[in-house]
Amino acid sequence: MKIGILVLPGAEKPGLAAEWLSRYIRAMGAEPLPEVLEKLPGEELVREKLAGSDGLVLVGGAGKTEVVRAVAAALGLGVEVNEEALQDVRAWFMDEEEPPSNLEEMALMPEFSYPVGNPRGPVDGFVALSLEDDRFVAATPPGFAESIEVFEAGIQDFVRKSTGKRFSATFSFQLALGVERARRLAEEVDAKFPSVFARLDGRFTDTGVPLVCTVYAGSPEELGALHEEVKRFVEERAGGRILESHGARGGGELA
């Protein structure tokens, strides 16, 4: 399975967004095809990139009318204001005396799209499905943290259902190591365990340097065994420099 990652102009931290999403997708058992674009994609480019992959993720494409219309046209769909997304936009600006005048544009999506909630900003992500096959085009908001959390919250499900990695768990270690040594340890984990995305993730920090591992598996038994292997590996490689560790969270089976 191949997943194109198109990072659009205006996306925050484009290189890092491409790297994180690529490593996530690789751990799920798919091949990422990342590309940072210099201009917004039109219908022809979306169609071309989708023809060479099983799905696309447009980083920074949500909420951009030109991109939404290009995606819809490439899939043979119309566009519509998604009511769930519009409610989220209105809720985000409800305390503003003068909210933006383009709230409906922020909630515009290809018709029949699945909206993916964004806890960090007004614009939801979406997943639009092809009417002809199992391919999809997803879009995230432009912020780096927004893109990652929207991907985690819903977009990744469309990858995992195809690769069979239906089970996942995320756990963390608070390390008494320098940032560079901790980063090298994350790289060592990734190199040894193809179904794991290890990274330094500030969302999980309490004290020390947060090494966070997300594990993907095809069964509960595989997930449990891999979890234990990764945990032992990190403990050995960290050499007793673990201040705290936190067990699996946010995992379980796909619906």
Do residues 144 and 133 touch, judged by C-beta distance below 8 A? no
Q: Are 151 and 44 found together in one domain?
A: yes
Name the domain boundary from 163, 191, 220: 163
Spell out where the chain has E strands: 2-7, 31-36, 55-59, 79-81, 108-110, 114-116, 125-129, 136-139, 167-175, 196-200, 209-217, 242-253
Q: Are 70 and 187 found together in one domain?
A: no
Q: Are 127 and 159 found together in one domain?
A: yes
Residue 189 lies in a domain: yes
Q: How many domains does the chain have?
A: 2
Residue 252 lies in a domain: no
Residue 226 CB coordination number (10 Å): 19
Q: Under the phi-then-psi rule, with left for phi > 0, alpha for psi from -120 to 50, and beta for the rest, what region is 126? A: beta
Q: Are 18 and 143 found together in one domain?
A: yes
Name the domain boundary from 163, 185, 213: 163
Residue 73 lies in a domain: yes
Q: What is the pLDDT along the chain (255 residues), one digit of tens a residue?
A: 999 999 999 999 999 999 999 999 999 999 999 999 999 999 999 999 999 999 999 999 999 999 999 999 999 999 999 999 999 999 999 988 888 999 999 999 999 999 999 999 999 999 999 998 999 999 999 999 999 999 999 999 999 999 999 999 999 999 999 999 999 999 999 999 999 999 998 886 667 889 999 999 999 999 999 999 999 999 999 988 888 777 655 555 655
What is the pLDDT, as a whole number, of residue 202? 80
What is the pLDDT, as a whole number, of residue 208? 85
Residue 34 lies in a domain: yes
Q: Which residues pair with 170 in a beta bridge?
A: 214, 249
Q: Are 180 and 64 found together in one domain?
A: no
Q: Are 154 and 177 found together in one domain?
A: no
Q: Are 156 and 196 found together in one domain?
A: no
Name the domain boundary from 110, 133, 163: 163
The rounded distance, in Å, linking the Cα atoms of 115 and 124 is 6
Helix/strand/coil for 42: coil
What is the pLDDT, as a whole number, of residue 252? 57
Q: By residue range, what is the domain housing residue 55?
A: 2-163
Q: Are 115 and 134 found together in one domain?
A: yes
Residue 179's CATH number? 3.30.70.1120
Q: Are 75 and 198 found together in one domain?
A: no
